[in-house]
Amino acid sequence: MLRSARSRSAALPLVSFITLVAVGGCARPTARDAAPAPARGANAPAVDADEQNAHAVADELRARVLAATDLTDLGESCDVGTLRTFKDTSRAGRLETEREIERLERLIIARGVDNSLDTPEAYDLLTTVIAWEAGDRRPRWDVPAGLPAPRTIAPGMVGKFRNPTTGRCEAYVATDTTTFVIPPVTSYTPPTLDSAKAVVYVGEPGLKQAREAFYSRIGATDSTSVFTYTRLRAVVVWRDYAVVAVNRPAERRGIQQLPVGEGGASYIFHRADKEWRLLAIARTWG
């Protein structure tokens, strides 16, 4: 069964952080985040100082998030995974941590929005997210240096549950193929996955190709068929930080956007030990 034809009824089974600022906000950070960057060219040393200052702010925000949260093992049953949770569960405590995540997300976007995705690090990030969203290899949680980094929870509907009748771990949706649409890149090679197949298309032309491929299989006149895919709508890489916004829409007849899909999520990653690790699930939506 193709994932493109599956039910679109839920977002992440567990949410580590509630809705924050919209990912699309790309304004430069305020003074408390980092000083505005001077014009490039004539004052290169000042630009470098500004960049270092901004990165120091990002590192401080990351440290605060790590200090304010725990990693909670959800049990070995069906490999549910590990969830980042708040240490201070009071409303004030949660809001403070959410504000730190919001500031970090804005800073990464503001600093990296114009950066190219045609780099080895960006390609590695694409592979990390595609494998995770396809139900294959999960990223590790970001942790302070020297501590073990456990694997994350499964996103969307790619996790498993224990069937009370059979006692076996079964997927929420039986799939073997996931369609991805990623931002424009020039020479990215999609990952080879162990437990799933990812078909990757690039940009708007790729989305058109994905639609045509789907409807060529099921027939364009089938009004009941729903085309679903996973779109990496926003990918921003800035030094060793990244923000990725994933949307999982559903369409009918290639033109009608359905109001209910499988939602999506915004992720903040940090690069450590030559891999991208998940720092926070900034928000999810259904």
- Write the pLDDT tens digit of every residue in 239-259: 999 999 999 888 876 555 655
- For residue 147, count other CB atoms closer than 10 A to its CB: 10
Q: What pTM did the predictor assign?
A: 0.78
Rounded CA separation 279/242 (Å)? 10
Read off φ and ψ for residue 182, nearest 5 degrees: -115, 165
pLDDT for residue 229 is more than 80: yes
Rounded CA separation 99/102 (Å)? 5
225, amino acid identity? S
User: Which distant-in-sequence residues (6+ apart) come within 8 Å of 249 by Cβ?
Assistant: 228, 229, 231, 257, 258, 261
Binning pLDDT at 50, 70 and 90, where does residue 97 land? very high
231 or 252: which leads in pLDDT: 231
Nearest to 286 by CA among 251, 268, 252, 259: 259
106 or 44: which leads in pLDDT: 106
Overall average pLDDT of the 1-13 stretch: 36
Highest-pLDDT range among 3-7, 185-189, 225-229? 185-189
Read off φ and ψ for residue 197, nearest 5 degrees: -115, 125
pLDDT attached to residue 108: 98
- The vertex-116 CA angle with 105 and 238, nearest 5°, equals 30
pLDDT attached to residue 1: 32
Query: Structure tokens of 15?
Result: 């949410």
126 or 22: which leads in pLDDT: 126
User: Strands 82-86, 197-202: parallel, antiparallel or unpaired by DSSP?
Assistant: unpaired
Alpha-carbon dihedral of residues 148, 153, 158, 159, nearest 10 degrees?
100
pLDDT attached to residue 114: 96
Overall average pLDDT of the 204-231 stretch: 82
pLDDT attached to residue 172: 52
Overall average pLDDT of the 42-65 stretch: 86
- The vertex-129 CA angle with 124 and 134, nearest 5°, equals 125
Place of tokens 């994905």: 210
pLDDT attached to residue 9: 35
Q: Name the DSSP letter for residue 35.
A: P
Please give the mean pLDDT across all residues of the chain: 79
